[in-house]
Amino acid sequence: MNFVVPDFYPAAAEIFVAVMALVIMLASTFARGVRWLGYALTQLTLIAAAFVTIFTMQGEVSYTFSNLFVSDLMGQFLKLVIYFSMAVALLYGRGYLADRNIDKPEYYLLALLMTLGMMVMVTANHMLPMYIGLEMMSLALYTMVAFDRDSGRSTEAAMKYFVLGALASGLLLYGMSMVYGATGSLEFTGIAQAVYNQAANQTVLLFGLVFLVAGIAFKLGVVPFHMWVPDVYQGAPTAVTLVIATAPKLAAFAMAIRLLVWGLFDLAAQWQTMLMLIAVASIVLGNLAAIAQQNIKRMLAYSGISHMGFVVLGLLAGVVDGDRHFALNAYSSAMFYAVAYVIMSLASFGMVILLSRAGFEAENIDDFKGLNKRSPWFALMMMFVMFSMAGIPFFIGFFAKLSVLQAVVAAGYFWLAVVAVIMSVIGAFYYLRVVKVMYFDAPEDTSEIRAPAELRVLLSANGLAIAALGVAPQMLMSLCAYALLASL
Q: What is the pLDDT of residues 399-438, one digit of tens each?
A: 999 999 999 998 888 999 999 999 999 999 999 999 999 9
Q: What's the distance, Cα to Cα, between the start and end of the chain in Å? A: 33
Q: What is the pLDDT of residue 420?
A: 93
The residue-averaged pLDDT of 236-258 equals 93
Question: Which among 402, 240, 191 has a CA at the least distance from the CA of 310?
Answer: 402
Instruction: State the Cα–Cα distance between residues 368 and 373, nearest whole angstrom.
Output: 11
Positive or negative: CA dihedral 344, 350, 354, 355? positive
Report how far Cα 197 is from the mean position of its chain's Cα atoms: 34
Q: What is the pLDDT of residues 443-488, one digit of tens each?
A: 877 777 877 888 899 999 999 999 999 988 899 999 999 988 887 7
Q: What is the pLDDT of residues 16-69, one digit of tens each?
A: 999 999 999 898 888 776 778 888 999 999 999 999 999 988 778 888 888 899
The pTM (predicted TM-score) of the whole model is 0.94
Which of helix, strand or coil describes residue 360?
A: strand
CA dihedral 151, 157, 163, 165 (to 10 degrees): -130
Instruction: State the Cα–Cα distance between residues 152 and 175, nearest whole angstrom.
Output: 35
Categorize the per-residue pLDDT at 364 as very low, low, confident or very high, splitting at 50, 70 and 90: confident
Q: What is the pLDDT of residue 322?
A: 63
Decide if 186 contacts 128 (C-beta within 8 A).
yes
Task: Tell me: pLDDT of 2 over 70.
Answer: no
The residue-averaged pLDDT of 274-303 equals 93
Question: Which among 177, 166, 172 has a CA at the least distance from the CA of 131?
Answer: 172
Categorize the per-residue pLDDT at 323 as very low, low, confident or very high, splitting at 50, 70 and 90: low
Percent of the chain with pLDDT over 90: 59
Q: What is the pLDDT of residue 18?
A: 94
Rounded to 5 degrees, what are φ and ψ at 62? -135, 150
User: Which residue type does 1 have?
Assistant: M
| Cβ contacts of 41 within 8 Å, gap of 6 or more | 20, 23, 24, 27, 108
Q: Classify 208 in phi/psi space as left (phi over 0), alpha (psi -120 to 50) or beta.
A: alpha
Count other C-beta atoms under 10 Å from residue 448's C-beta.
7
Q: What is the pLDDT of residue 321?
A: 65
Q: What are the residues facing 126 on neighbouring strands? A: 187
Task: Tell me: pLDDT of 320 over 80.
Answer: no
Task: Tell me: pLDDT of 299 over 90.
Answer: yes
Higher-pLDDT residue of 131, 488: 131
Instruction: State the Cα–Cα distance between residues 460 and 467, nearest whole angstrom.
Output: 11
Decide if 297 contacts 241 (C-beta within 8 A).
yes
Categorize the per-residue pLDDT at 223 as very low, low, confident or very high, splitting at 50, 70 and 90: confident
Decide if 64 contacts 6 (C-beta within 8 A).
yes
Which of helix, strand or coil describes residue 188?
A: helix
What is the chain's Cα-based Rg?
A: 22
Chain mean pLDDT for the chain: 89
Task: Tell me: pLDDT of 319 over 90.
Answer: no
Helix (H) or strand (E) holding 236: none
Task: Tell me: pLDDT of 157 over 60.
Answer: yes
Decide if 360 contacts 447 (C-beta within 8 A).
no
Instruction: State the Cα–Cα distance between residues 252 and 247, nearest whole angstrom.
Output: 9
The residue-averaged pLDDT of 93-121 equals 90
Decide if 233 contacts 301 (C-beta within 8 A).
yes
